[in-house]
Amino acid sequence: MRESYGVRLARVVAERGPLCVGIDPHPGVLRAWGLDADVAGLERCARGMVEALAGTVAVLKPQSAFFEAYGSAGVAVLERTLADVAQAGALSLLDVKRGDIGSTMDAYAAAYLTDGSPLAADAVTLSPYLGFGSLDGAITAAQAHGRGVYVLALTSNPEGRQVQHATASDGRSVGQVVVDEAARRNAGPGPGDVGVVVGATIGRTGTRFDALNGSILAPGLGAQGATAGDLTDVFGAALPLVLPTTSREVMGAGPDPDRLRDAAAAVVASVTGVLGPR
Ligand SMILES: O=c1ccn([C@@H]2O[C@H](COP(=O)(O)O)[C@@H](O)[C@H]2O)c(=O)[nH]1
């Protein structure tokens, strides 16, 4: 039986450093790589990212939208990209931000979190805005298969504040409620499998992560303006839980594999200086 996601993540981060690199094959990135913005270009770019980085970077995060944009042929490229990541020793985190009523979530869980499914990843991003409890079936499925989930708590985009920084009926922020619900599912020994997404861009919010016992995926470095130095303000004592993620900052160095690896290594060096060794 596969070890838990929390344990597998801790190991690969200890070996390779705390970084997730996003695979976001924007049409502009494809053109910058000298590729056409079509399915063939998508495949060269996405699988080129895996070939260059999956031997050295802890986690690779394909953004589903950029594959879905090409219809079933694009989804087939996503399937092959996920298979490449699995073969190469990195963990895959599929950024697909799903959230629905429980019975439909079960179908999403079958697609993304179940052994044998062509779209299965080591972890996926989920949205809690149909109620955190609507995700419980997916969390159970993930844990049964040694996989994990990242639940959107305080996202990196400025529009997120309207909902996520609002005050819930008990006085906590909505984002804090999400973090606390994740913490409840992670209670117990060992690192939990329920992570949260908290943008590196959001500044000091007073959110408490002390009970979380799970991974914090932190997007926003690079193209969205956050720097490694911002991580201290946002996460304070929770820095050891943080897994920074960046896409365009690294992809902009492609397509040369050495330059991609150098770009990823530079981000690892800058965030390790703040987060400390794992
Ligand atoms: O709060 C969030 C959640 C997810 N994302 C995703 O991460 C990447 C960011 O790409 P960059 O090029 O590093 O800006 C993208 O896929 C987003 O959908 C996020 O940015 N913020």
| Residue located nearest, by CA, to atom 7 of ligand 1 | 219
Residue 276, pLDDT score: 81
Interface confidence (ipTM) of the complex: 0.99
Residue 272, pLDDT score: 95
CB–CB of 122/149 below 8 Å? Answer: no
Full domain range(s) for residue 218? 5-275
CA of 1 to the centre of ligand 1 (A): 32
**Of 20, 24, 159, 197, best ligand 1 pocket probe by most atoms within 8 Å of the beta carbon:** 24
CA of 224 to the centre of ligand 1 (A): 8
Residue 80, CA atoms < 13 Å, CB-side half-sphere: 17
At 184-231, the pLDDT tens digits run 999 999 899 999 999 999 999 999 999 999 999 999 999 999 999 999
CA of 199 to the centre of ligand 1 (A): 9
Number of domains observed in the structure of the chain: 1
Residue 77, pLDDT score: 98
Residue 64, CA atoms < 13 Å, CB-side half-sphere: 18
CA of 168 to the centre of ligand 1 (A): 25
Residue 99, pLDDT score: 98
Residue 110, pLDDT score: 98
Residue 55, pLDDT score: 97
CB–CB of 135/99 below 8 Å? Answer: yes
Ligand 1 surroundings by CB, under 6 angstroms: 22, 24, 63, 95, 155-157, 197, 199, 219, 222-224, 246-249
b/e 83-120 (16+ beta carbons within 10 angstroms → b)? ebbbebebbbbbbbbbbbeeeebeebbbbbbeeeeebb
Question: Which residues on neighbouring strands pair with residue 148, listed in sequence order?
Answer: 123
CATH code of the domain covering residue 164: 3.20.20.70
Ligand 1: atom nearest CA of 198 is 1
The ranges of the chain with pLDDT < 50 are none
